[in-house]
Chain A
């Protein structure tokens, strides 16, 4: 039988139980194997993260820029709806969902690779 623990939300647990760690405290250490693996994860994730960041910022910068330089998009219509409205209200969401899925798969692949350096593809 597991021990009984008061049921509460994570926020409540946090708010009620934040009274440890007074005084000196030392960083828990890493096994050499773990340190090596963490270092490899860190480097690969950093490289892949930068690519995803470039894409998302390109979208956040590119779409307003597109609407700025092509005001004529308001007059072009798709199913009766101005294209500029679609670019603003609909297009970003599928784009971002795709980007999220893409980055998620890439990030998980790094962790799935167990050897060294084979996740760099």
Chain B
């Protein structure tokens, strides 16, 4: 019950800061000016604060428990994404003045249809990215308060929607930066406490894994998902089973028992297909390229005063995420010793919050459970608020323009849809859910951004065809995974983790279709504008009624020069 109160406190504080904290800033100066003074360090804190989701806070350690050491490749990909961002996207994106990919499409290619298509992609990515967040939040609420899963998901959805509709929309940079520090502390302090408290024996066993074969103490397992046990047969979701100390652990068909030889493999072998290298690379491609296209991440770079600061922000973010991601591994290896039975119940996402009470059943255990729950919920709130607003913005302004009231209604409707989707996602593999959002972003927006910024010959039809090809192929692969028959071997990896082929497909489509057409005369100028550093950035020039001879002459000088210099 106490941890449930901590969740209420986190929501309350977020609401309070959203409503009061930012309002206090209004008296000092224009928020726009204030935001231009945001230093790269503070902004990197904000970027990391928004990026570290429930999937990072709880999911990675849970995946480790479930899939083995290889799950630690996910955070490597999450972090590497910011290096790609630094090299390819950050500064030019900021200099384009666009906040989202639909905006960028308009600024670079001036194509309304592409803008609508990009808005649809934002919706797909948003839904795929939000579902695992809601699922994790639901599972955690279930564990700390003992309520059913549907109740947890609904409460989480209601909390996000209410926070957003009531005033969280004001939440500004420093709230997010504060959130990063909060999450970091709430993650590191319990980890250190756990390491210090568990004792020599547990530490030794954490470093020398053995297969989980016998229960060490009386254990009650509540199955969250359907499972087939060996021995034991089919067990429907919701079943409670008691295992006495010393009893043999049944094997769950289709999963890896924690601690065994396969579990220790430091690569991701999906479904024991026998191609761990391919599986690992598929995840790395999806997560690193996908980071570039996540709607809530791109938006945050706009708070930087200029392109140079945006680039610095990306570089510092790599360091900040690196500090955070040193710790999921600690929770993972300790969790394998302390709560291995969660692999039976399918609730591995709750491993992090379940651990403190295994170590200390007194007030300390409760305290640290509370801290971790609060941190997880803060992570969930920060990411979901940003994404839900991005999704609502795409609906209410790109797809069917309307006013502010419409935006509020859209927020509620979008949250409701995600809650419904998350209700059916409880039985899905957390690792798949996490990478799907990234996969779609990687196969649609990342080729669009990279080619748009670095290739002057990209045309609007090329971009539309490429984005459509990436969207259809990646979402088709997801649909086959969800509803199709189980596939063997390499095929299974290519379908469940499709980024390896959908990203090249989208990029090649863009290039080929663009080469068949002709880019408009201003294409080179549109691209070069993105690479002009701020010192000489031209002021925006309003359209003139009749073009003066001078501006016409200047225009032709530019054309001549560009032609002379090749491309």
Q: Which residues of B contact A25 (CB under 8 A)?
A: 110
B536 with A37: CB separation less than 8 A: yes
**Complex: A16 Cα to B337 Cα, angstroms:** 50
CB distance from A37 to the nearest CB of B (A): 6
If A16-B404, A100-B83, A103-B315 touch, does A29 touch B525 (CB 8 Å cutoff)? yes
Given contacts A4-B30, A30-B538, A56-B80, A85 and B389 within 8 Å (CB-CB)? no
Q: Which of B258-309 contact A (CB under 8 A)?
A: 264, 266-267, 276-277, 280-281, 284, 288, 296, 299-300, 302-303, 308
Residues of B within 8 Å of A10, CB to CB, are 35, 99, 173, 299-300, 302-303
Closest to A3 in B: B30
Are B389 and A12 within 8 A (Cβ)?
Answer: yes
Chain A residues whose CB sits within 8 angstroms of the CB of B413 once the complex forms: none
User: Are the CB atoms of B538 and A60 closer together than 8 Å?
Assistant: no
Smallest CB-CB separation from B71: which chain A residue? A88
- B80→A28 contact, CB < 8 A: no
| A38 partner, pick from B84, B389, B401, B528, beta carbons under 8 A | B528
Chain B residue nearest in CB terms to A10: B302
Q: Is B549 an interface residue (CB 8 A)?
A: no
Provide the bound-state CA to CA distance between A60 and B541, in Å: 44
Most chain B CB inside 10 Å of its own CB: which residue of A4, A42, A45: A42
Partner of A11, one of B31, B80, B169, B540: B169
By secondary structure, the A interface counts as helix
On whether the beta carbons of A12 and B169 are closer than 8 Å, the reply is yes
Give the nearest-CB partner of B95 in chain A: A38
Write the B207-230 contact mask toward A (1 if CB under 8 angstroms, else 0). Answer: 100000000000000000000000
Q: Which of B100, B314, B536 contacts A33 (CB 8 A)?
A: B536
Per-residue CB contact flags for chain A residues 79-121 toward chain B (1 = under 8 Å, else 0) read: 0111011011110111011011101100110010000000000
B79 neighbours in A (Cβ, 8 Å): 92-93, 96
- Name the distance in Å between A114's Cβ and chain B's nearest Cβ: 9
Compute how far the CA of A18 lies from the CA of B31 in the bound complex, rounded to whole angstroms.
18
A26 to B318, CA, bound (A): 37
Cβ distance B477 to chain A, nearest Cβ, rounded Å: 21
Q: Which chain B residues lie closer than 8 Å to A59 at the CB level?
A: 80
Give residues of chain B (26-69) contacting chain A, Cβ–Cβ below 8 Å: 26, 29-33, 35, 69
Rounded to whole Å, the gap between the CB of A23 and the closest CB of chain B is 10
Q: Is B341 an interface residue (CB 8 A)?
A: no
Q: Assuming the A-B contacts A10-B302, A38-B531, A45-B531, are A94 and B389 also in contact, with contact meaning beta carbons closer than 8 angstroms in the complex?
A: no
For window 123-169 of B, CB contacts with A under 8 Å fall at 169
Q: How many residues of A contact B (CB 8 A)?
A: 71
A21 — nearest CB in chain B belongs to which residue?
B106
Contact A5 B32 (CB under 8 A): yes
Please give the distance in Å from B325's CB to the nearest CB on chain A.
Answer: 6
For the complex, what is the distance from the CA of A14 to the CA of B277, rounded to whole Å? 41
Question: Looking at the complex, which of B185-193, B391-399, B435-443 is the stretch in contact with chain A?
Answer: B391-399
Bound form: Cα–Cα A103–B562 in Å? 28
CB <8 Å contact, A101 and B532: no
Q: B540-552 vs A: 1/0 string, CB under 8 Å?
A: 1101000000010
> Cβ of A94: which chain B residues have Cβ within 8 Å of it?
322
Residue in contact with A88 in the complex, picked from B73, B103, B525, CB distance below 8 Å: B73
The CA-CA distance from A90 to B554 in the complex, in Å, is 55
Chain A residues with CB under 8 Å of B106's CB are 21
B25 within 8 Å of A (CB atoms)? yes
Binds A, one of B85-93, B235-243, B370-378, B420-428: B85-93
Which A residues are in CB contact (< 8 Å) with B522? 26-27
Contact with B along A42-72 (1 / 0, CB 8 A): 1001100100110010011101110110000
Which of the residues B311, B325, B537, B562 comes within 8 Å of A39, measured between beta carbons?
A: B562
Tell me if B76 is interfacial: C-beta within 8 Å of chain A.
yes
Question: Is A111 a contact of B284 with CB atoms below 8 Å?
Answer: no
Q: With contacts A18-B103, A60-B288, A74-B266 known, is A100 near B393, CB below 8 A? A: no
User: Which of A35, A80, A92, A93 sits near B528, CB closer than 8 Å?
Assistant: A35
B529 at interface by CB-CB < 8 Å: yes
Q: Which residue of B lies closest to A94 (CB)?
A: B322
B277 contacts A68, CB within 8 Å? yes
Q: Is the Cβ of B401 less than 8 Å from the Cβ of A19?
A: yes
A56 to B535, CA, bound (A): 30
Contact among B31, B80, B86, B525 with A5 in the assembled complex (CB-CB below 8 Å): B31
Give the complex CA separation of A53 and B84 in angstroms: 7
Q: Is B557 an interface residue (CB 8 A)?
A: yes
CA distance A111 to B311 in the complex (A): 12
Q: Which residues on A sit within 8 Å (CB–CB) of B558?
A: 29-32, 35
Please report which residues of chain B, range 421-455, place their CB below 8 angstroms from some CB of chain A when the two chains form the complex: 454
Cα of A32 to Cα of B522 in the assembled complex, Å: 14
Q: Known A15-B397, A30-B529, A100-B83; judge A107-B311 contact (CB<8 A).
A: yes
| CB-CB nearest in chain A for B50 | A11
| Residues of chain B with a CB closer than 8 A to A82's CB | 207
- Asked whether B322 lies within 8 Å of A34 as measured between CB atoms, the reply is no
Residues of chain A within 8 A (CB-CB) of B251 are none
Picked from B266, B326, B392, B557, the residue with its CB within 8 Å of the CB of A90 is B326
Could you tell me if A65 and B389 are in contact, using CB atoms closer than 8 angstroms? no
CA distance A16 to B170 in the complex (A): 12
B12 CB within 8 Å of chain A = no
What residues of chain B lie closer than 8 Å to A9, measured between beta carbons?
A: 22, 169-173
Please give me the 5 A-B residue pairs with the lowest Cβ-Cβ distance, nearest first: A15-B393, A93-B322, A89-B329, A38-B528, A38-B532
30 contacts between A and B (CB under 8 A): A5-B31, A5-B32, A7-B25, A7-B26, A7-B170, A11-B299, A14-B100, A14-B393, A15-B393, A18-B103, A21-B106, A29-B554, A31-B554, A34-B538, A35-B561, A37-B533, A38-B531, A60-B77, A63-B76, A65-B277, A68-B267, A74-B264, A87-B266, A88-B70, A89-B329, A90-B326, A93-B326, A97-B322, A103-B315, A104-B312
Known A5-B32, A56-B83; further 10 A-B contacts with Cβ < 8 A: A7-B170, A10-B300, A25-B110, A31-B554, A42-B528, A53-B87, A59-B80, A96-B79, A107-B91, A107-B311
